[in-house]
């Protein structure tokens, strides 16, 4: 090849094809998908919690996309039905994830609705799930000699609680738990007729 213009022309055409198939067509196909019936917009506290989720990179170990029953036993594990595009209507940015070092979280709010469990689990995962390799998040909590009024004290199994002191959830921890509890897509949906899952 002796012309750089032909080279670049060709290179741009192939990239345009890739962009058309993986970005533009999905954009056109999905732009008008309405939110699933039964899906509530996030509250501002839940959105703040979502930011905490992003900030600490929860997405690198947890997916939010249970697989269909034909493919994997996700449903049997209690992770929920296969989601549809409308289930993610309010998700900006998307947090589908690519790793399951930990379990799928799309329906964690339905599966584990106890805020106290979540707070304790964030403070020390191994207090609730022996053998877990999830990081503990001590920086989302304060250790106080005595909790003040309005403080959310974290109830911990005695062997994991600091001696003579109390663990108090910081606002970030409360926001994060609010978001986790909002993760509930257990309402029924109908798959779209055009084969979109």
Q: Show contacts with another protein in window 75-94 (CB under 8 A).
A: 76-77, 82-85, 87-89, 91-94
Does 39 sit near another protein (CB under 8 A)? no
Q: Does 110 bind another protein (CB under 8 A)?
A: no
Residue 8 interacting with another protein (CB under 8 A): yes
142: helix, strand or coil:
strand
Tell me if 55 contacts another protein by CB under 8 A.
yes
Site for another protein in 157-176 (CB under 8 A): none
At CA 60, angle to CA 57 and CA 64, rounded to 5? 100
Surface-to-core class of residue 124, CB atoms within 10 Å of its CB (0-12 exposed, 13-18 middle, 19+ buried): buried
| Residue among 148 and 197 whose Cβ is closer to another protein | 197
Residues 6+ apart with CB under 8 A from 22: none
Q: Which one, 23 or 155, has the nearer CB to another protein?
A: 23
143 interacts with another protein by CB under 8 A: no
Q: Which residue(s) pair with 142 in the sheet? A: 168
**Smallest gap, in angstroms, from Cβ of residue 34 to another protein?**
11
């Amino acid at each position: 090849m002796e012309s750089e213009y032909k080279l670049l022309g060709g290179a741009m055409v192939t990239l345009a094809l890739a962009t058309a198939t993986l970005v533009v067509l999905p954009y056109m196909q999905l732009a008008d998908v309405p939110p699933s019936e039964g899906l509530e917009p996030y509250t501002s506290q839940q959105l703040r919690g979502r930011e905490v989720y992003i900030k600490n990179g929860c997405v690198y170990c947890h997916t939010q996309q249970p697989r269909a029953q034909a493919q994997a036993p996700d449903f049997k594990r209690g992770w929920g039905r296969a989601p549809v595009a409308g289930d993610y209507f309010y998700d900006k940015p998307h947090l589908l994830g690519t790793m399951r070092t930990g379990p799928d979280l799309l329906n964690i709010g339905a599966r584990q609705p106890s805020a106290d469990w979540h707070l304790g689990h964030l403070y020390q995962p191994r207090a609730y799930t022996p053998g877990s390799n999830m990081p503990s998040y001590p920086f989302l909590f304060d250790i106080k000699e005595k909790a003040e009024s309005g403080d959310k004290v974290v109830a911990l199994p005695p062997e994991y609680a600091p001696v003579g002191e109390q663990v108090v959830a910081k606002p970030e921890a409360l926001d994060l738990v609010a978001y986790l509890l909002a993760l509930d897509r257990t309402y029924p949906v109908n798959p779209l007729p055009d084969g979109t899952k």
